[in-house]
Amino acid sequence: LQTWSLLDNRCLGSVTAGTKPITAMQLRGRWLYSSGGRKLRVWDTERQQSDNALVCVDTLSIGNHCGNVRRVLAQAGRVFLGC
């Protein structure tokens, strides 16, 4: 997961977001939701590590009853996942 500047087109920071490729992301206020495989991660865009990488504040593992998460929608205090 990388954060880029639109002003000068440079990478501001990056962090490994698991072993599976990211298949969906949504920014909702200060929270960035990303999914890869059967995991949903919540990132705090206002808190960063010393190398400007985002801080993961929560990880939700999805059970075997659902395939890989392909869509994320965060709205009204809930997160909806499309598997």
CB count, 10 Å around CB of 30?
Answer: 10
The two tokens of residue 2 are: 């990388």
What's the CA gap between 25 and 81, in Å, rounded?
Answer: 11
Name the nearest CA neighbour of 56 among 39, 37, 73, 38: 39
**How confident is the prediction along the chain (83 residues), in pLDDT tens digits per residue?**
888 899 999 998 888 877 888 999 999 999 999 999 999 999 998 887 777 788 899 999 988 887 888 889 888 888 888 88
Q: What is the pTM of this model?
A: 0.83
